[in-house]
Amino acid sequence: MATWLEALIALLIVVSGIFILVGSLGLLKLPTLMMRLHAPTKATTLGVGGALLASMGFFWAVEGTVSVHELLVTAFLFLTAPVTAHFIAKAHLHLERKRDGGERERLPETGTGSGWSTYDAAPQAGQGEEGGAPREG
Amino acid sequence: MIEYALIFGFVAVSLALVMNLWRLLQGPSVVDRVLAVDTMVINTIALIILQGMYQGTTLYFEAALLLAMFGFISTVAFCRFLLRGNVIE
């Protein structure tokens, strides 16, 4: 194996290990859940992506064949991480609302007539706009 | 060189798993625990990939792919259970 390739793979492994460590450190140390959500969904996903890249390079250097499995795992993780974060944030907001007896977590104002769409119903069509047809019935 | 990097990676990922376990045990709310379990699954995928490189075999990639799918589905099912009270209506 060429020395530069070996150095590149080793660097990728070390960097991904550091990213995974930082992600879990953030999960442990940050104060609120909305802050804690950032660390694993970004840093850890990037770390796993780096490890998968290193594995691709390693098996390309050793066996001479490019394997697609790592790309599959990477694509799957990078697609599902935002969905997971969204679901966790939504569950957190609704549980907070339920627990505090109607007092919502301090979210900023939306700046429109209606509230946040995860709490309130969707605004009626044409509401708050000039020339919108009034809904009948 | 790769050997030492792999050993560093094993140590880092194992420390990260211990931190996640601490958050899983401590977590003030249920959602914290769900997040900790999700992170543990992702770290386990990284550990499997590193182990595959350490042993020089591509045998473990299917396990990593399966674990990625099951981690995502279980997290979504957990959150849906917390939101709705059941998983399949």
Q: Assign B16 a pLDDT band (cuts: 50, 70, 90).
A: very high
Q: Assign A98 a pLDDT band (cuts: 50, 70, 90).
A: low
Q: Taking the mean position of all CA atoms in its chain, how far away is CA A17? A: 19
Q: For residue B23, is pLDDT > 60?
A: yes
Mean pLDDT (chain A, rounded): 80
The interface predicted TM-score of the complex, written ipTM, equals: 0.89
In one-letter notation, the amino acid at residue B7 is I
Judged by a CB distance cut-off of 8 A, whether residue A119 touches chain B is no
Residues of B in contact with A49 (CB under 8 A): none
Closest-approach residue (CA) in chain B for A66: B58
In one-letter notation, the amino acid at residue B85 is G
Q: For residue B2, is pLDDT > 90?
A: no
Look up residue B36 and give its two tokens: 């900790």
Residues of A in contact with B87 (CB under 8 A): none
Q: Assign A131 a pLDDT band (cuts: 50, 70, 90).
A: very low
Minimum mean pLDDT among A28-37, A74-83, A115-124: which range?
Answer: A115-124
Partner-chain residue, chosen from B5, B45, B58, that has the shortest CB–CB distance to A73: B45
Distance of alpha carbon B51 from alpha carbon B48, whole angstroms: 5
Q: CA of B35, closest CA in chain A: separation in Å?
A: 7
Q: For residue A19, is pLDDT > 90?
A: yes
Judged by a CB distance cut-off of 8 A, whether residue A46 touches chain B is no
The answer to whether A25 contacts B76, with C-beta atoms less than 8 Å apart, is: no
Q: Assign A105 a pLDDT band (cuts: 50, 70, 90).
A: low
For chain B, what's the residue count?
89
Task: Look at residues B11, B64, B84, B76 and name the one whose alpha carbon lies nearest to residue A81.
Answer: B76
Fold of B2-84: Helix Hairpins (1.10.287)
Per-residue model confidence (pLDDT) at position B8: 93
The share of chain B scoring above pLDDT 90, in percent, equals 53
In one-letter notation, the amino acid at residue B53 is M
Any idea where the domains of chain A sit in the sequence?
3-99
Q: For residue A26, is pLDDT > 60?
A: yes
Minimum mean pLDDT among A99-108, A117-126, B71-80: which range?
Answer: A99-108
- Biggest alpha carbon–alpha carbon distance for chain B: 54
The answer to whether A87 contacts B46, with C-beta atoms less than 8 Å apart, is: no
pLDDT in tens, A51-74: 999 998 888 888 888 878 888 888
Q: CA of A103, closest CA in chain B: separation in Å?
A: 17
Ramachandran class of A129: left when φ > 0, alpha when ψ lies in -120 to 50, beta otherwise: beta
Closest-approach residue (CA) in chain A for B18: A24
Residues of A in contact with B22 (CB under 8 A): 28
Q: For residue A124, is pLDDT > 80?
A: no
pLDDT in tens, B51-68: 998 998 888 888 989 999
Per-residue model confidence (pLDDT) at position A125: 65
Distance of alpha carbon B89 from alpha carbon B87, whole angstroms: 6
| Mean pLDDT value of segment A99-111 | 61
Judged by a CB distance cut-off of 8 A, whether residue A47 touches chain B is yes
Per-residue model confidence (pLDDT) at position A136: 46
Per-residue model confidence (pLDDT) at position B37: 92
Closest-approach residue (CA) in chain A for B46: A48
Per-residue model confidence (pLDDT) at position A126: 58
Q: CA of B40, closest CA in chain A: separation in Å?
A: 9
Partner-chain residue, chosen from A40, A72, A87, that has the shortest CB–CB distance to B39: A40
